[in-house]
Amino acid sequence: MSTITIKPFIGNYLRRSPKLHPNSKKAPHFSLNYSRRSLFSGKANLRFTDYRRRRNLLLRASSTDAAVIETSEEQSDVVFKESFSLKRPEKAEGKIAIRLDKGNDEENWHLSVGCSLPGKWILHWGVHYAGDTGSEWDQPPREMWPSGSIAIKDYAIETPLKGEAFQEVKIDISSKWSIAAINFVLKDEETGVWYQHRGRDFKIPLVDCLDDDANTVGVKKGSGIWSGSLGKLSNILLKPEAAPSKGESSSNDGSSVKSRRLEGFYEEHAIVKETLVDNTVSVSVKQCPETAKNILYIDTDLPGNVILHWGICKGDTKIWELPAMPYPTETVVFKNNALRTLLQRKEGGNGSKGLFTLDGGPSGFAFVVKLDENTWLNCKGDDFYIPLPSGQHQSKENEESNSSQIVNRSPEQSQAGSVYTDEIIKEIRNLVSDISSEKSRKTKTKETQETILQEIEKLAAEAYSIFRSSIPTISEVVSEAEVLQPDVKVTSGTGTGFEILCQGFNWESHKSGRWYKELHDKAAELSSLGFSVIWLPPPTDSVSPEGYMPRDLYNLNSRYGSLDELKVTVKKFHEVGIKVLGDVVLNHRCASERNQNGIWNIFGGRLNWDERAVVADDPHFQGRGNKSSGDNFHAAPNIDHSQEFVRKDIKEWLRWLREEIGYDGWRLDFVRGFWGGYVKDYLEATEPYFAVGEFWDSLVYTYGEMDHNQDAHRQRIIDWINATTGTAGAFDVTTKGILHSAIERCEYWRLSDQKGKPPGVVGWWPSRAVTFIENHDTGSTQGHWRFPGGKEMQGYAYILTHPGTPSVFFDHIFSGYRSEIGNLISLRRRNKINCRSKVEITKAERDVYAAVIDDKLAVKIGPGHYEPPGGHQRWKMAAEGNDYKVWELS
């Protein structure tokens, strides 16, 4: 049995030749730093209580200051008592078993992949065809699909493993299919974890494996299972640059391959799965009337040695301080601002307990639980905060403190941040002065000036990031006059602020061959529902039928319909008052011909580029451009937007689409692949009414559970918007992911961030956030990140009442949700809710979320109870459905 390192990939994401990510189409591998992070413990409502006539704690101090705990029926002064749920990571070890067996003859083989650990395991796999140098991942022939398999776009399939104690899947292989290798990864669908081989896909070569890949399993170097013509291909296929050594025969008669055929193999690879185990920690506080001291008793069922990392807080601050001595036994001082106490093991070893005696001055007791050097347990990403009696007059604020982030920022730290920001601003000014002076002397080249401008924009983005993180987030607010009289001329790509977007297709729409005609017939109906913008599918000639592998950009005869049908459909939408967005793929483009080395990087049609238009750092397509300014998409040549001729051609093409087709704006595909400054250039050249980018990135997960704090995730989206200087919005993937998790797990507290604001992009830059719950990748027949079934209307109740620009998925409109969605759209329009509307979150608890928007609408989602402030005298019910309600100001 060989033991290897299997790296898990945490999160919901899609795969694209050969990537794993929740990108709608393509994104680079998400690499997990495998040191453990702080885990969330369940929500608890903190409150002061009076537990009279109960079994209360009597504390007797000994000479060593250790307390002896007794129980009594006597009345005592217990002022706080609460239990918190904890989720502790626990490892389960198992194995992935891979077996290749010969069938009835030399041309047929059987591959089986199994896993010994419990879970809902999925084999995500594809094949590499002999002679195909363009991609290592393709879908296998239909005859090869085991039962239960589903297609993943056009490059892979997913097959569930079956069994009880040991789950496995079996795949039949035949030489007639000319398959050179099988690639796969294993996914645990319950936790969202993907398992690879040494950080890469498992690869099983079926021809000579001359390159010693680290991810190759089963087949030894120089062996293969196919004889004949496919065996002859192997030397050329996997190492085309290799040439025979002097005196070495270059014969290709296949005899050597035949004599080294593989008879089969069996391998086991170690796998470690992280699961979360439920535990609790209970805290009670008693105030001693004789000494006025506060006595905390902490009890937990956590196994092993448990260390409490703790400190006290004074006044209104949440800054940790050391308490007055003496300290409990087994306590050490940590960096002069916290203590670490080893809790005492209970008799029988079932958990630990601890006693802490504090003076009456502190207002709170803050702590986290340390299990080992890498594992910490806390409260939704924050410290546990226990209010003490001296702060009882602030009990309401203290009750909310466990839903707020505790920031330990000293005045010196704030000053340091300010000094750093000042230095950045100074550097920007110097660069501006430099480019101005050089312009006057006309000595700077245009390329150098653009480089300086790029540096300025990057510095500005950095300064903006520091500014946003160092002050409270201020929501964008517009006056009533601005709401009633939006600007008529809009050239920034962000519309008027009142847009409601419809995604006008799904993953299967191309199959009818007449999708434009079908949309044409639905235009009046979509207008009557209240939609003001529709997003149409990619219009260009494409290698993939869905349109996301474009080839000839000026050829607009696609699987969705002809050029003329597209123009008629756009005109029809304009007649009913709906703006139209074109879905443009600018990151990559499929070639029409191979170069002299057999690489697909020669483009056809009107834009007949060559390898100079391809980035240099994508090894698959031998580009001769500059290095990529973003993340590479390995299924097609990535376009080098730093080339002036490329940008000129793209701007000309986009202007042609605006004029010839009548598009009003753009949906920009996979914008992670190139710098946002180029997007700004394209938008300024085309002056769209509205533009939105797909910046898809993995949210942060710890052992399969989404972290409460997703600030880093939404900051990356904000940074991209900022790189475009705000000329485009972006899909609010952060809000999608948090809504998904909150509704699926009944954890509605996730819908409020540490500052009581919406936790997605909509909480920081609402006018640039395009909110959604589903699209053609996450839902439809792909279902890569499908919103919790039967609960879609909770999601729409949220995005259609909140700021941001809501986007509604086509499948949900023409389904049983049509009337409910139409009612919510009507409410939004009637109350003039817009992308900058003000949100006041009034409740965010385990089973209910509620908010008031612009003092005009109140909304509640979740099974819990909520009534808006003022009750029925002030509010009237306007919409109601499965676990959601919306009230309108009466």
First to last CA, the chain: 71
- The predicted pLDDT at position 536 comes to 97
Determine the angle formed by the axes of helices 644-656 and 676-686, rounding to 10 degrees: 40
pLDDT digits (tens, 9 = 90+) for 103-148: 888 788 999 999 999 889 999 999 988 887 667 788 999 999 999 9
What is the C-alpha separation between 57 and 296, in angstroms, rounded?
10
Q: Using CB atoms within 10 A of its CB, is residue 212 exposed (0-12), middle (13-18) or buried (19+)?
A: exposed
Q: Residue 653's closest CA among 609, 601, 592, 600?
A: 609
pLDDT digits (tens, 9 = 90+) for 452-508: 655 565 555 555 444 444 433 333 433 333 333 344 334 467 899 999 999 999 988
What is the C-alpha separation between 73 and 95, in angstroms, rounded?
54
- The predicted pLDDT at position 447 comes to 56
Q: Residues with Cβ < 8 Å from 299, sequence gap 6 or more?
A: 281, 282, 351, 352, 353
- The predicted pLDDT at position 46 comes to 40
Q: Return the top range by mean pLDDT from 24-28, 673-677, 703-707.
A: 673-677
Q: Which residue's entry shows tokens 């398999």?
A: 149
What is the C-alpha separation between 387 and 398, in angstroms, rounded?
6
Computed on alpha carbons and rounded to an integer, the radius of gyration of the chain in Å comes to 31
Q: Would you state the structure tokens that stand for residue 461, as one six-digit string?
A: 């983005």
- The predicted pLDDT at position 450 comes to 56
pLDDT over threshold 50, residue 236: no
pLDDT over threshold 80, residue 534: yes
Q: Residues with Cβ < 8 Å from 635, sequence gap 6 or more?
A: 16, 17, 26, 135, 137, 155, 549, 588
Counting Cα atoms < 13 Å in the Cβ hemisphere of 719 gives 19
Torsion angle defined by CA atoms of residues 64, 65, 67 and 68, in that order, rounded to the nearest 10 degrees: 30
What is the C-alpha separation between 24 and 633, in angstroms, rounded?
12
Query: In the chain, pLDDT over 90 holds for what percent of residues?
Result: 50
Secondary structure of 415-450 as H, E, C letters = HHHHHHHHHHHHHHHHHHHHHHHHHHHCCCCHHHHH
Q: Residue 411's closest CA among 399, 419, 403, 421?
A: 419
Which amino acid is present at 105? D
pLDDT digits (tens, 9 = 90+) for 623-675: 989 999 988 888 899 999 999 999 999 999 999 999 999 999 999 999 999 99
pLDDT over threshold 70, residue 432: no
- The predicted pLDDT at position 525 comes to 94
Q: Residue 57's closest CA among 298, 362, 291, 352?
A: 298
**Single pTM value for the model:** 0.52
- The predicted pLDDT at position 275 comes to 78
Measured between alpha carbons, how far is residue 560 from residues 397, 431, 511 in Å?
Answer: 56, 49, 8
Torsion angle defined by CA atoms of residues 646, 651, 653 and 658, in that order, rounded to the nearest 10 degrees: 170
DSSP letter assigned to residue 247: T
Q: What is the pLDDT confidence band of residue 154, given thresholds at 50, 70 and 90?
A: confident
Q: Residues with Cβ < 8 Å from 323, sequence gap 6 or more?
A: 311, 312, 339, 358, 359, 362
**How many of the other CB atoms lie within 10 Å of CB of 484?**
9
Q: Residue 675's closest CA among 620, 733, 615, 734?
A: 615
pLDDT over threshold 60, residue 749: yes
Catalytic residues: 669, 694
- The predicted pLDDT at position 45 comes to 39
- The predicted pLDDT at position 580 comes to 97
Which amino acid is present at 354? G
Which amino acid is present at 330? E
Q: Which of 301-315, 478-492, 832-846 has the lowest mean pLDDT?
A: 478-492
Pair 404, 382: CB distance under 8 Å? yes
Q: Which residue's entry shows tokens 């217990």?
A: 78
Q: Would you state the structure tokens that stand for residue 249, as one six-digit string?
A: 């025969």
pLDDT over threshold 50, residue 35: no
pLDDT over threshold 60, residue 342: yes
**Is 859 strand, coil or helix?**
strand
Q: What is the pLDDT confidence band of residue 757, given thresholds at 50, 70 and 90?
A: very high
pLDDT digits (tens, 9 = 90+) for 389-406: 864 433 333 333 333 333
- The predicted pLDDT at position 58 comes to 34
Pair 80, 298: CB distance under 8 Å? no
What is the C-alpha separation between 324 and 341, in angstroms, rounded?
15
**Is 773 strand, coil or helix?**
coil
pLDDT digits (tens, 9 = 90+) for 709-740: 999 999 999 999 999 999 999 999 999 999 99
Q: Using CB atoms within 10 A of its CB, is residue 396 exposed (0-12), middle (13-18) or buried (19+)?
A: exposed
- The predicted pLDDT at position 622 comes to 87
Tell me the Ramachandran region of residue 364: left when phi exceeds 0, alpha when psi lies from -120 to 50, beta otherwise.
beta
**Is 834 strand, coil or helix?**
coil
Q: Would you state the structure tokens that stand for residue 803, as one six-digit string?
A: 């700021």
Q: Would you state the structure tokens that stand for residue 741, as one six-digit string?
A: 């998790």
